[in-house]
Amino acid sequence: LCAMMPLHLPLLQNMFFVYASTILLFCTAVLYCADTQLGKVGKQSFSQQTLMEIFTSGIPNKKILSLSAGDPEDLSQWRGLELMDDGCIKNIQWVIKGLSGTINLESLPSSIRLCNISTNHLSGSLNLVGLPDVLDTLYLSYNLFSGEVDLTQLPQTLRILSLAMNTLSVPINVTCLPSSLRQIFLYDNAFSGLTDFGHLPSSLVHFNIARTKLSGTLESSAAWKFDIEDSQVTQASPTR
């Protein structure tokens, strides 16, 4: 028996390493979420690698995103990431990757300007509070996200937001959209209820809420493109 033990030692060491790494990531995620809610620890307290691991911790098939055989252990080993000269992440492009499971948007690294994870099989709720301050474009369309969504605390730099083709529901508040927003796509969701469209930003050029159950009145404008078909929203001439 003693003679056989050295043969199994590498296997036991690998099993222990995997187990310990999993426990460490879980504890880090719990600590991050708890401290973020309490406002005690910011994203700057964690490396971007750790934040990305937390971001994808709910994706069971995330090995799709790795350039190596296992889970990516370095930012350079992630597929679809564009890094800046300082090594920080600038863009995430994970379109049509077959990803499933859930994501933790609140853990997105603060340097990210574009995040496109559309056309996958991702599900769960969407927390749009605490997104990166420099975020310019966010595509979450053509997935299976559900539940309510808060549009009142989006980054002031955001220009394009697409949540189309999900199963998001309940009324939405579009009275506090960022002044930088130019395009917002909410079509083909289960949004419902009377909505105040009287405070849309003047920067907006395309607003698509087609095939929802939203109701209310939108003022028409030559500078804006509204898509409201198959909804209960009506369009009116601007007041003078």
- 219 near 177, Cβ under 8 Å? no
Q: Looking at the domain covering 60-236, what would its CATH class be? A: alpha beta
pLDDT, averaged across the chain: 85
Q: How far apart are CA 83 and CA 90, in angstroms?
A: 5
| Nearest-5° Cα angle at 55, 50 to 149 | 145
- Residue 15 — φ and ψ, nearest 5°? -65, -40
With cut-offs at 50, 70 and 90, classify the pLDDT of residue 240. Answer: low
Question: Where exactly are the structural domains of the chain?
Answer: 60-236
- Going by pLDDT thresholds of 50, 70 and 90, the confidence category of residue 44 is confident
Judge whether residue 176 has pLDDT over 80. Answer: yes
Instruction: Residue 104: count other Cβ atoms within 10 Å of its Cβ.
Output: 20
Across the range 148-160, mean pLDDT stands at 97
